[in-house]
Amino acid sequence: MKKSYFIYSESELKRKDNTLQIKTVDGVKKDIPIETISDIYVMTEMTFNTSLINLLSQYGIIIHFFNYYNFYNGSYYPREKNVSGRLLVNQVEHYTDENKRLILAKEFVLGATDGILRNMRYYNERGRDLKEQVSQINELKRLIEKQKNVQELMGIEGNIHKIYYKTWNDIINQEIDFEKRVKRPPDNIINTLISYVNSMIYTIVLSQIYITQLNPTISYLHVPSTKRFSLALDIAEIFKPLIGDRMIFSLLNKLQISEKHFIKELNGLQLTKQGSMIISKEFDDRLSRTVKHKNLGKDVSYRYLIRLEAYKLIKHLIGEKEYQSFRLWW
């Protein structure tokens, strides 16, 4: 099974024959078989050359870069090999046609909302008393299908998240005083965690989209624009509650992450290297977990579930099967 590799030590990444070699500034070397790599996360200073880039391009491996403050900087996205002019035309058509775009945008919001409700019901059943908030979000969920355009839909989505985030003070055992989502810069522990983890979700979605024939710049809920792969933002909405938020709740409630893993910087509250490493390991572990797929009849990883979401979208775009966003069945 392929996995993500996280590089935290200042090092040189180079090609050795037909594999990768990491050499730290202390001279420690580690060889990694290229066939075992899903994608690479660079969380520190790193040097590499064109020989390495050629190898990564050959095997279709994306590198995601994060800066000193654990902010996502961007990705090296190899030249696409799986391309389809027909699919690209269909992608564009489903964006330019407002009705077709709205159908997909609603599914992304419905998938995200289902994940949010699952999380809230889970903790409500464990004594958090979230019945009122669950009821409020269910009311908003019923309004999703009635929205006439994407702008109205985004308003409903925003209201759902406002209610959801207010329950985090009850879900999380630590004293967090979390009232609203603040991104630039994150101003407390929860906002810092959400920003970092959401970036991780976005990057893994992008890595899985790359394997398919989808163009990652053409999206439906988010507006396509420059300097971002907005389709990854669309699909990430579905998996944030199911992978990202659940991981945050678990790490905080088990005291694996606490105040000691944060430091106040000019750019707001930032994760320490230790905190970032704890989260990255847990993130990769969760992506490697498997479940019995109800349709495929075999065990698949969470990472592969994300890729399947992209394949489902392709079937919708080519008219083979109507898209329904991911819902937990277990």
Per-residue pLDDT tens over the stretch 165-207: 999 989 998 877 666 566 666 768 888 999 999 999 999 999 9
Q: What is the pLDDT of residue 176?
A: 72
Q: What is the pLDDT of residues 39-91, one digit of tens each?
A: 999 999 888 888 989 999 999 999 999 987 788 999 999 988 788 999 999 99
Hey, what are 91's tokens?
């992608």
Q: In the chain, which residues have pLDDT < 50? A: none
For the CA atoms of 299, 243, 116, 251, the dihedral, rounded to the nearest 10 degrees, stands at 130
CB atoms within 10 A of CB 77: 17
Distance (Å, whole) CA 174 – CA 284: 24
Q: What is the pTM of this model?
A: 0.92
Q: Which residue, among 149, 183, 190, has the nearest Cα to 167 in the 3D structure? A: 190
N-to-C CA span, the chain: 23
* Gap between the Cα atoms of 207 and 75, Å rounded: 10
Q: Nearest CA to 248 among 290, 291, 284, 196?
A: 196
Strand partners, 30: 22
Amino acid 25: pLDDT: 85
Residue-level pLDDT at 321: 97
Distance CA 107, CA 91 (A): 16
Supply the pLDDT for residue 171.
95
Nearest to 193 by CA among 179, 208, 182, 204: 182
CA distances from 124 to 4, 119, 159, 172, 241 (A): 34, 9, 20, 12, 16
How far is it, in rounded angstroms, from Cα 110 to Cα 102? Answer: 12
SS3 38: strand
Find out whether 100 and 140 touch, Cβ atoms under 8 Å.
no
Helix (H, G, I), strand (E, B) or coil at 290: strand
Measured CA to CA, the distance from residue 129 to residue 143 in angstroms comes to 24
Candidates 329, 298, 299, 296; CA nearest to 311 is 296
Classify residue 202 as exposed, middle or buried by CB count within 10 Å of its CB (0-12, 13-18, 19+): buried
Q: What is the DSSP string of 129-143?
A: --HHHHHHHHHHHHH
Name, in order, each residue with C-beta under 8 angstroms of 81's C-beta and a sequence gap of 6 or more. 60
Residue among 253, 245, 235 nearest 305 (CA): 235
SS3 assignment, position 168? helix
Paired tokens of 71:
């902010």
pLDDT of res. 69: 77
H-state helical runs in the chain: 50-59, 85-96, 98-123, 131-144, 150-166, 168-171, 189-211, 230-239, 246-253, 273-288, 302-317
pLDDT at 184: 61
Which pLDDT score, from 0 to 100, does residue 266 have? 63
Say what the pLDDT of residue 1 is.
Answer: 74
Checking DSSP bridges between strand 62-66 and strand 72-76, what pairing results, if any? antiparallel
